[in-house]
């Protein structure tokens, strides 16, 4: 994976839009660059932007990104939105991840919204990115698929932990495990160790608890169980016997209780009979009233009819009296209505007689109104015309004043010069200035030709010098290459001799044990010509010293050869550049023209003179050109002033004529208005006509209303008379019917008077109520008597039944004794049966518990074996073992990088002694010092940096797996290095560029900033904010 571009908007101290493009210079041309800036400027924020865009989280605050309250937000303070964007390429293509978040309405004071995340793929056809996903889970899945790493592995692969490995190498055994666990992410092994310990503890405790439960759940013995069963049988038989006897006693007691209840019921029945008899006696008066009323029931309808006729007679006589009074009261109103009809006829006649005179005045007034309307219309037109003339005159006077002011201003701006003089001077200057410019351009081209000629001569001299230097450098480089080849052969020869000497020394013991004719155990040969040869003492050491001197000489020759080759390449590049410049100068000379006729000094003097003339002429021409537009404007203003004066005179004459017309119209309007007022006053003709018509209608309506009222009153009196006759006829008829009915009732009820018969006759409701009460009391009396007889019969039968039974007191004493005996026996039987059921349950449960105990035992044994292998309470047992394996893998991968960086050193893992404690120790082998082994504590600052950097690169390879990571970042770790060590570290980092990696170094070290020319600078801009600048 290679990062191509980083986009940042409002993250922490980086306010505004910031872009870092690795595809454009200077970053594209410099694989090694530094990220520099003061503390808090935002260097680490660049790394945060990468992880935010890819995984939506940062290493400093993994749980911040979606907090609604905004606490510890990565968004820059005082802004409403932020964004992190990364473009990168992998083996599968080119992609872009964008993470963004904003506040409500994108205002700094709005509430934080949830973050958004998207991933896009680059489309070569359209040249744009096609969105693949916008949902967070899918973006996370696709990012991990394309990058090939999850968040934790990405951080360890890209953000190198060189500083952490440096602390690891210098730490004691107690801190190494914690540091290695942190930088390699192997905390899972400590958790597994603690988990195995806890699982074993839980399994053991569960087995012990269940074992105790099994001990507590043992059933009864066979003898105890047989005795329990026998006791239950005997006790059940006894309870059955006592229960039978108890049932017999209970039955006998029930007979005594039944007799007592019957005696009580007999007494209550006698009491009920007496109460019913008393109620029957109290109803004697009501029964007598009901008897008399029932004898009069056949005449109930005739008596009711007689009462109804009497009521109708009284009502009819009342209505008749009221009708007579109403008729007598309506007679005066009828006379008054006749008078009102006569008065209305008289008023209508008077109004009709005055109608011709009114019509004549209205006609005259109508003609005057029409005349006034015409005069007022003419006057309004004349007034509008006069107002228009007045406005026109005012506008013309304003325009005349403006024209006079304009003419005065233009005259002042021309300084009193004549227009003809200005035009002539302009024409002369416009012809002369182009001629001066043409001559000045020709002089400049001549001077440029002389300048190019001088530069070309200097470049040709430099070209000759560079060719001579290249010839010398080429010979020197060839000589050094031959010396390097010779020195390399010498080093290889000495290395072979050292190995042979060591081999002969190591085989000396084997030579002494060789026998003639016996095969060699190493090579199998039967001849041993070198068996008696004794190796030269100290030969291996002497050859090792010679090899070291030869290696140093080879290194010196290689350095000189590299410097010579670089110097030769620089000279060749410079020669190519100068040759290209010579061709450019020759082409410019051809384009400039021919050589000038005058020398350079004369050309410069003429150029300066022409420049001065051009400047003076140009200034004068510009001034006159500024005055030229004023001439036509002045002439136009003078012409406009003449026209305005003429228009003002014409407008004044028209205004005077209109004023005379207005005065004549005003006199005619006043005369017509006075005549109209004499006829109808200030009223309009139409209004007068409307009022007259309304008055005529009012008189007609008044006459019609008076006539209708008179007719209505006459009709009312006639109706009263007719009703009086009808009521008198009805009254006589009712009297006749009542007299006939009274005669019939008197003869039927004799000798009982009619009034007394009406008193004795009860109403239907009262008679029904009394009859119902008498019937209820009679029924209760008869029922009580029958019930009392029935109870007496049952009581006699019961007394006959218990004559042969024991006494009741003895039966009750026997019942209580049997009840207590049975209850106690049943309680005892329940306890025994409970013990029996519990024993049965323990027997069945014990089988299951033993099966469970067996399973828990197997589980305990399995976790005991696991705990014995890897378990411990603090997790160190398995963590140390697993970290030793991880450390060995890191050492193997680190040695590959260390061989590339500096082949002198090689790391080896130092295992603990058998049965000893794992110390995670490493040793360094110095191949230049006869493979001398040293502990890490003896490393110098530069050596420690080389080893820790190799381990950091190894961790990146280990975390990245098979993914090729081409963009790396090293955050700090250089502050403790001295100058010499820092130079060695930088040389090491520069060698990594050969592997195609892009390395960014974050540091405050000033020497590092001076050594790495390509820099991403974080420049403070005030208020705690910074901006990104690129420098090379």
3-state SS, residue 1016: strand
Q: In which residue are the tokens 């001295």 written?
A: 978
Residues 6+ apart with CB under 8 A from 54: 86, 97, 143, 147, 151, 154
Please give the Cα distance from 249 to 708 (Å, whole number): 112
Q: In which residue are the tokens 């107002």 written?
A: 387
- Give the residue among 229, 983, 162, 334 at the shortest CA–CA distance from 720: 334
Q: Output the DSSP codes for 677-722.
A: HHHHTT--HHHHHHHHHHHHHHHHHHHHHHHHHHHHHHHHHHHHHH
pLDDT tens readout for residues 66-77: 555 555 578 998
What burial class does residue 947 get, using C-beta atoms within 10 Å of its C-beta: 0-12 exposed, 13-18 middle, 19+ buried? buried
pLDDT tens readout for residues 443-476: 877 777 777 778 788 888 888 888 888 888 898 8
Residue 9 banded pLDDT, cuts 50, 70, 90: very high
Q: Output the DSSP codes for 229-252.
A: HHHHHHHHHHHHHHHHHHHHHHHH
Assess whether pLDDT exceeds 80 at residue 999: yes
pLDDT tens readout for residues 776-819: 888 887 888 888 888 777 777 776 766 667 777 777 787 888 88
Helix axes 876-901, 941-960, angle to 10 degrees: 110
Percentage of the chain exceeding pLDDT 70: 87
pLDDT of residue 898: 80
Overall residue count recorded for the chain in this entry: 1032
Cβ-based neighbour number of residue 785 at 10 Å? 15
- Give the residue among 662, 680, 687, 659 at the shortest CA–CA distance from 376: 662
- DSSP H or E run through 874: none
pLDDT of residue 136: 92
pLDDT of residue 179: 65
Q: In which residue are the tokens 């017309």 written?
A: 661
> 575: which 2 tokens?
């020669």
> 276: which 2 tokens?
């019913």
pLDDT of residue 522: 47
993, 30 in Cβ contact below 8 A? no
Please give the Cα distance from 610 to 443 (Å, whole number): 9
44, 59 in Cβ contact below 8 A? no
pLDDT tens readout for residues 875-905: 877 877 787 888 888 888 888 878 777 778 8
Q: Output the DSSP codes for 758-775.
A: HHHS--HHHHHHHHHHHH
Q: What is the mean pLDDT of the chain?
A: 80
Q: How far is CA 377 from each of CA 350, 424, 682, rounded to the nearest angstrom?
A: 41, 64, 20
Report the DSSP beta bridge partners of residue 909: 922
905, 943 in Cβ contact below 8 A? yes
Assess whether pLDDT exceeds 90 at residue 745: no
Please give the Cα distance from 953 to 959 (Å, whole number): 10
pLDDT tens readout for residues 117-149: 999 999 988 889 999 999 999 999 999 888 887
pLDDT tens readout for residues 968-998: 888 756 665 666 666 766 776 776 666 667 8
pLDDT tens readout for residues 651-676: 888 888 888 888 888 888 888 888 87
pLDDT tens readout for residues 282-298: 877 777 777 777 777 77
Report the DSSP beta bridge partners of residue 907: 924
> 230: which 2 tokens?
């026998």
In the chain, the largest separation of any two C-alpha atoms, in whole Å, equals 190
> 663: which 2 tokens?
């005065």
> 438: which 2 tokens?
């043409």
DSSP 100: E
Between the ranges 508-512, 592-596, 976-980, where is the mean pLDDT highest?
592-596
857: region left, alpha or beta (phi > 0 left; psi from -120 to 50 alpha): alpha
Q: How many CA atoms lie within 13 A of 923 on its CB side?
A: 12
Percentage of the chain exceeding pLDDT 90: 8
Assess whether pLDDT exceeds 60 at residue 563: yes
Q: In which residue are the tokens 């209760």 written?
A: 780
- Give the residue among 981, 971, 982, 901 at the shortest CA–CA distance from 34: 971
302, 831 in Cβ contact below 8 A? no
Please give the Cα distance from 551 to 927 (Å, whole number): 12
- DSSP H or E run through 1014: none
> 402: which 2 tokens?
């403006």
Please give the Cα distance from 489 to 492 (Å, whole number): 5
């Amino acid at each position: 994976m290679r990062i191509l571009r980083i986009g940042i908007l409002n993250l922490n101290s980086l306010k505004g839009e910031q872009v870092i493009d690795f595809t454009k210079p200077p970053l594209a041309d410099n694989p090694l660059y530094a990220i520099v800036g003061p503390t808090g400027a935002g260097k680490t924020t660049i790394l945060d932007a990468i992880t935010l865009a890819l995984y939506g989280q940062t290493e400093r605050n993994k749980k911040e990104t979606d907090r609604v309250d905004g606490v510890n937000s990565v968004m820059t303070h005082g802004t409403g939105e932020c964004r992190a964007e990364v473009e990168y390429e992998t083996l599968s293509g080119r992609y872009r991840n964008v993470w963004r978040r904003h506040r409500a309405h994108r205002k700094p004071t709005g509430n934080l919204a949830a973050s958004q995340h998207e991933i896009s793929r680059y489309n070569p056809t359209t040249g744009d990115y096609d969105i693949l996903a916008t949902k967070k889970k899918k973006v996370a899945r696709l990012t991990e698929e394309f990058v090939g790493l999850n968040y934790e592995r990405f951080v360890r692969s890209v953000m190198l932990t060189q500083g952490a490995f440096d602390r690891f190498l210098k730490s004691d055994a107690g801190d190494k495990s914690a540091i290695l666990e942190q930088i390699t992410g192997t905390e899972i092994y400590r958790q597994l160790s603690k988990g195995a310990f806890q699982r074993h503890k839980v399994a053991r405790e569960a087995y012990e608890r269940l074992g105790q439960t099994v001990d507590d759940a043992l059933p009864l013995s066979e003898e105890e169980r047989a005795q329990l069963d026998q006791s239950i049988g005997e006790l059940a038989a006894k309870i059955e016997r006592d229960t039978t006897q108890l049932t017999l006693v209970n039955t006998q007691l029930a007979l005594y209780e039944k007799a007592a209840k019957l005696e009580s019921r007999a007494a209550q029945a006698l009491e009920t009979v007496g109460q019913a008899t008393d109620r029957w006696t109290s109803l004697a008066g009501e029964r007598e009233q009901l008897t008399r009323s029932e004898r009069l029931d056949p005449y109930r309808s005739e008596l009711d009819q007689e009462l109804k006729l009497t009521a109708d007679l009284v009502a009819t006589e009342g209505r008749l009296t009221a009708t007579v009074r109403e008729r007598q009261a309506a007679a005066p109103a009828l006379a008054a209505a006749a008078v009102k009809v006569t008065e209305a006829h008289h008023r209508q006649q008077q109004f009709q007689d005055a109608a011709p005179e009114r019509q004549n005045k209205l006609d005259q007034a109508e003609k005057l109104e029409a005349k006034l309307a015409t005069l007022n219309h003419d006057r309004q037109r004349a007034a509008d015309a006069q107002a228009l003339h007045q406005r026109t005159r005012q506008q013309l006077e304003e325009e005349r004043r403006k024209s006079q002011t304009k003419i005065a201003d233009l005259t002042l701006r021309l300084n009193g010069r004549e227009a003809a003089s200005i035009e002539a001077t302009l024409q002369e200057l416009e012809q002369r200035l182009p001629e001066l410019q043409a001559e000045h351009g020709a002089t400049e081209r001549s001077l440029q030709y002389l300048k190019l000629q001088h530069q070309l001569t200097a470049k040709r001299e430099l070209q000759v010098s560079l060719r001579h230097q290249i010839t010398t450098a080429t010979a020197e480089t060839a000589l050094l290459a031959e010396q390097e080849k010779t020195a390399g052969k010498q080093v290889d020869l000495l290395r072979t001799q050292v190995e042979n000497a060591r081999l002969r020394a190591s085989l000396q013991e084997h030579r002494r044990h060789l026998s003639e004719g016996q095969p060699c155990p190493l090579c199998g040969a039967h001849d041993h010509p070198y068996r008696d040869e004794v190796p030269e003492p100290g030969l291996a050491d002497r050859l090792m010293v010679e090899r070291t001197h030869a290696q140093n000489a080879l290194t010196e020759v290689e350095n000189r050869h590299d410097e010579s080759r670089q110097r030769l390449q620089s000279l060749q590049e410079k020669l190519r550049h100068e040759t290209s410049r010579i061709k450019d100068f020759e082409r410019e000379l051809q384009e400039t023209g021919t050589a000038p006729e005058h020398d350079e000094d004369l050309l410069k003097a003429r150029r300066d003179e022409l420049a001065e003339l051009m400047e003076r002429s140009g200034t004068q021409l510009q001034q006159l050109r500024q005055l030229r537009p004023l001439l036509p404007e002045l002439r136009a203003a003078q012409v406009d002033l003449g026209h305005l004066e003429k228009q003002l005179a014409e407008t004044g004459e028209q205004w005077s004529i209109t004023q005379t017309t207005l005065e004549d119209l005003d006199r005619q309007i006043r005369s017509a208005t006075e005549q109209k007022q004499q006829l109808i006053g200030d009223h309009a003709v139409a209004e007068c006509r409307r009022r007259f018509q309304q008055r005529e209608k009012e008189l007609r309506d008044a006459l019609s209303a008076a006539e209708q009222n008179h007719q209505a009153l006459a009709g009312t009196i006639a109706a009263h008379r007719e009703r009086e006759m009808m009521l008198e006829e009805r009254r006589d008829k009712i009297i006749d019917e009542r007299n006939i009915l009274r005669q019939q009732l008197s003869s039927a009820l004799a000798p009982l008077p009619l009034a007394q018969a009406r008193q004795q006759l009860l109403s239907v409701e009262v008679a029904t109520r009394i009859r119902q009460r008498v019937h209820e009391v009679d029924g209760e009396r008869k029922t009580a008597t029958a019930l009392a007889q029935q109870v007496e019969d049952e009581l006699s039968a019961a007394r006959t039944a218990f004559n042969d039974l024991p006494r009741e007191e003895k039966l009750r004493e026997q019942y209580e004794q049997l009840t207590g005996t049975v209850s106690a026996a049943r309680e005892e039987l329940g306890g025994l049966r409970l013990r029996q059921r519990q024993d049965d349950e323990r027997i069945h449960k014990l089988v299951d518990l033993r099966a469970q105990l067996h399973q828990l035992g197997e589980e305990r044994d399995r976790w005991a074996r696991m705990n014995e292998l890897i378990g411990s309470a603090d997790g160190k047992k398995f963590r140390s073992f697993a970290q030793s394996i991880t450390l060995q893998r890191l050492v193997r991968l680190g040695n590959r990088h260390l061989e590339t960086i500096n082949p002198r050193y090689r790391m080896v893992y130092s295992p603990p002694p058998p049965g000893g404690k794992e110390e995670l120790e490493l040793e360094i082998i110095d191949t230049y010092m006869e493979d001398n082994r040293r502990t890490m504590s003896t490393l110098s600052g530069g050596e420690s940096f080389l080893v820790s950097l190799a381990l950091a690169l190894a961790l990146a390879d280990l975390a990245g797996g098979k993914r090729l990571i081409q963009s790396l970042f090293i955050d700090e770790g250089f502050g403790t290095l001295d100058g010499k060590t820092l130079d060695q570290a930088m040389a090491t980092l520069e060698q990594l560029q050969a592997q195609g990696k892009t390395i960014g170094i974050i540091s405050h070290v000033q020497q590092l900033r001076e050594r790495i020319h390509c820099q991403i600078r974080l420049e403070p801009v005030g208020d705690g904010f910074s901006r990104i600048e690129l420098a090379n």
